[in-house]
Amino acid sequence: MRFKRNGSYTLNRKSKTKPNGKKPPAEEKKQYLEPEFTKIRVVDFDLKELVVLPREIDLNEWLASNTTTFFNLINLQYSTISEFCTGDTCQAMTACNTIYYWYDERGKKTKCTAPQYVDFVMSLCQKLVTDEEIFPTKYGKEFPNSFESLVKKICRYLFHVLAHLYWAHFKETVAMDLQGHLNTLYAHFIVFVREFNLVDPKETCIMDDLSEVLCTPAPPPAPTPAPSAPASAPSPSSQNHVTER
């Protein structure tokens, strides 16, 4: 069975060059972990049911359909705060204690501002998901051998954008009352990439504290303290220099 996927996407973002004199938020405290925010979701059911491969659906079709949808939704979510994500406010693509560097097509490492990085991510994703050779929509057209690795690449970059939204723009998201959308999108995305092993856990571990809270189905009335493995939090000084895979 084939899904019909929409092949046209608009990068709906406002100009990022507008200086607004805002300082980067000092997120010593992770506001997004406060219970008053983590309890806000748009949907409240087990997201796992949404992500498992339905019977009779081709795996690649399922990955293509979901990846395309996540690209569109994350692009849209970013567009809601893009006017606050400028070369002044976000001089580097940061999330927790990580700085992401962009690697160009020749593998050259580039330091860039967050809006530049997001622009690179969205342009690349758009190019890939609309490429008929990579994300075929026509009946009988095969997915290329590189399909899975390209899906992984897209998901890894989309994760960086989500992490940056929480780390640097959660206050603005709350000001617009969009935290429920962000939480739902994030949880859905994480449950999806975990289901199909699309992003290396070493990559997503910087947000494990949030993932733990948001991706766990509603807690039972009388929670029993499960023996939990010691949290393997990344050392505060660890800088995750992203490498191409």
Smallest separation, CB 173 to Zn ion (Å): 11
- Give 77-108 as a DSSP string: HHHHHGGG--TTT-SSEEETTEEE-EE-TT--
CA dist list (Å): 191 to 21, 97, 225, 226, 236: 37, 23, 23, 21, 26
**226, 165, 155: which is closest to 197 by C-alpha?**
155
Smallest separation, CB 121 to Zn ion (Å): 12
CA dist list (Å): 5 to 52, 167, 172: 19, 31, 32
125 annotated ligand binder: no
Q: CB of 173 within 8 A of CB of 179?
A: yes
188 annotated ligand binder: no
Give the interface size with Zn ion as a residue count (CB under 5 A).
4
Contact between 168 and Zn ion per CB under 5 A: yes
Amino acid at 53: L
215 annotated ligand binder: no
> 118 or 155, CB closer to Zn ion?
118
90 annotated ligand binder: yes
Pick one of 47, 63, 95, 114: the residue that binds Zn ion (CB under 5 A): 114
Smallest separation, CB 63 to Zn ion (Å): 28
> 168 or 199, CB closer to Zn ion?
168
Contact between 85 and Zn ion per CB under 5 A: yes
> 168 or 214, CB closer to Zn ion?
168
Smallest separation, CB 27 to Zn ion (Å): 11
CA dist list (Å): 167 to 22, 164, 207, 232: 15, 5, 10, 19
Q: Which of residues 169-228 bind Zn ion (CB under 5 A)?
A: none
Contact between 151 and Zn ion per CB under 5 A: no
The span from the CA of 207 to the CA of 160, in Å, is 10
The span from the CA of 134 to the CA of 128, in Å, is 7
* DSSP helix/strand/coil, 109: strand
> 68 or 94, CB closer to Zn ion?
94
Known binding site for Zn(2+): residues?
Answer: 85, 90, 164, 169
Known binding site: residues?
Answer: 85, 90, 164, 169
Give residues in contact with Zn ion (CB under 5 A). Answer: 85, 90, 114, 168
